[in-house]
Amino acid sequence: MSIQKKVKNRHTLHSGIFNPTLRKWQSLQSEIAPDNLMYPIFIVEDDEAVQPIASMPGVSRYGVNKLKNHLGPLVEKGLSSVLLFGVVESLPKDDTGSHADSPQNPVIRALPKLLSWFPSLTIACDVCLCPYTSHGHCGILFPDGSINNTKSIKRIAEIAAAYAKAGAHIVAPSDMMDGRIGAIKDKLAECQLRHKTAVLSYTAKFASGFYGPFRDAAKSKPAFGDRKCYQLPPGSSGIALRAAARDVAEGADMLMVKPVLSYMDVLRDVKRAYPEFPMFVYQVSGEYAMIYHAAKAGALDFKTALSEILVSLRRAGADVIISYYTPVVLDWLQTKSKL
């Protein structure tokens, strides 16, 4: 027998995966634990409301008082972080998003309660203008409708500082304006909050068709035009890496790719370029709805498919997955059969 033949024979893959422990050893880096999950939540003005969201079956908007009962059992099951989005209905929207950081803002009002009910919970706040502006764009506009970047990042930094002052542990700007991470870092320093508030950058946020259900949920559709001038073009990976380099240089604590299923190459590239930064991915509303409807139609088995997707995100380099499915996954993690 030639040496070559012998070597070839040694490469039996089945010998590495014939029992559950062996299989786990092949995939330890892809395991899912509660700390790998962040749960996005929509908070409305009416403290007692629970409003199911038609475009995201199984997800609701909550008034803060209803969150006590909703989040309590999840924290018991190991939920360690949430991402808060404010949704306004009766507060007026204007050109500068005045209610993004007013005392009536639902997130600002909810923070002290959530912090006192759940002292172990790490709370991140999405920072953006689109849910609060009359035009529905993520920045301040010039009269011709284009983005005034200078004014936008000043305003975004003010809003981030307001959430930080109200107790947010993490501020997460999703606006995609140029230079916002640096502006937020400077503002936090000015407010003596530099060491108390982390900045999670929506680093590579693509102009995606998968945000549709969210814009319903957050009532944040642009009144005209689209977001292609500030969110990244789906075909480009170079600009995502440049965005990551910029955010890192400006002092981001954590990086994110969003959406993720169609951008796994970007996830891997950014994680490989910056392995020393915790890497977040956002499984967005359209990805949530896609899995839900495919399972409901019987096209795929829900648990098998969702587990496979989550594990593959970890395999591709995600440390933390922001997912509306977090409650379901925490349930699964209660049983011994880990994902």
Q: Does position 118 bind ligand PBG by CB under 6 A? A: no
Does the annotation list 274 as a binding residue?
A: no
Short-list 155, 154, 194, 149, CA closest to 176: 149
Tell me the backbone φ, ψ of residue 143, rounded to 5 degrees: -55, -30
Using CB under 6 A as the binding rule, whether residue 285 contacts ligand PBG is answered as yes
| Residue 126 contacts ligand PBG per CB under 6 A | yes
Site pattern 195..224 for ligand PBG (x: CB under 6 A): ----------------x--xx---------
The answer to the question of whether 138 is labelled as a binding residue is yes
Q: Dig out the tokens for 102 from the structure.
A: 């007013």
Q: Is 87 in the site for ligand PBG (CB under 6 A)?
A: no
Is residue 201 within 8 Å of 172, Cβ to Cβ? yes
Determine the interface stretch with ligand PBG among 29-37, 65-73, 123-131, 237-245 (rule: CB under 6 A): 123-131
Helices (H), 11-63: 20-26
For position 36 contacting ligand PBG by CB under 6 A, the verdict is no
Rounded CA gap, 74 and 118, in Å?
11
Total number of residues binding ligand PBG (CB under 6 A)? Answer: 10
Query: Is residue 177 within 8 Å of 16, Cβ to Cβ?
Result: no
Whole-angstrom Cα distance, residue 57 to residue 196? 36
Name residue, tokens 């969210």: 214
The contact mask relative to ligand PBG for 171-200 (x = CB under 6 A, - = no) is ---x--------------------------
CA distance 83 to 125: 5
The residue number with the shortest CB distance to ligand PBG is: 214
Q: Which amino acid is at 217?
A: A
Can residue 284 be called a binding residue for ligand PBG (CB under 6 A)? yes
β-strand partners of 126: 172
- Contact letters for ligand PBG, residues 288-327 (x by CB under 6 A): ----------------------------------------
Question: First CA to last CA across the chain, in angstroms?
Answer: 43
Stretch that binds ligand PBG, among 9-17, 124-132, 272-280, 292-300 (CB under 6 A): 124-132
Task: Establish if 230 lies at the interface with ligand PBG (CB under 6 A).
Answer: no
User: Is 8 noted as a catalytic residue in this protein?
Assistant: no
Q: Give the Cβ contact number of residue 43 at 10 Å.
A: 26
Task: Please identify which of the residues 93, 185, 258, 271 carries the catalytic annotation.
Answer: 258
Active site (annotated) includes residue 219? no
Instruction: Tell me the closest approach of the beta carbon of residue 151 to ligand PBG, in angstroms.
Output: 17
- Token couple for 155: 């305003």
Asked if residues 288 and 310 have their Cβ atoms less than 8 Å apart, the reply is no
Contacting positions for ligand PBG (CB under 6 A): 126, 128, 130, 138, 174, 211, 214-215, 284-285
Catalytic positions, please?
205, 258
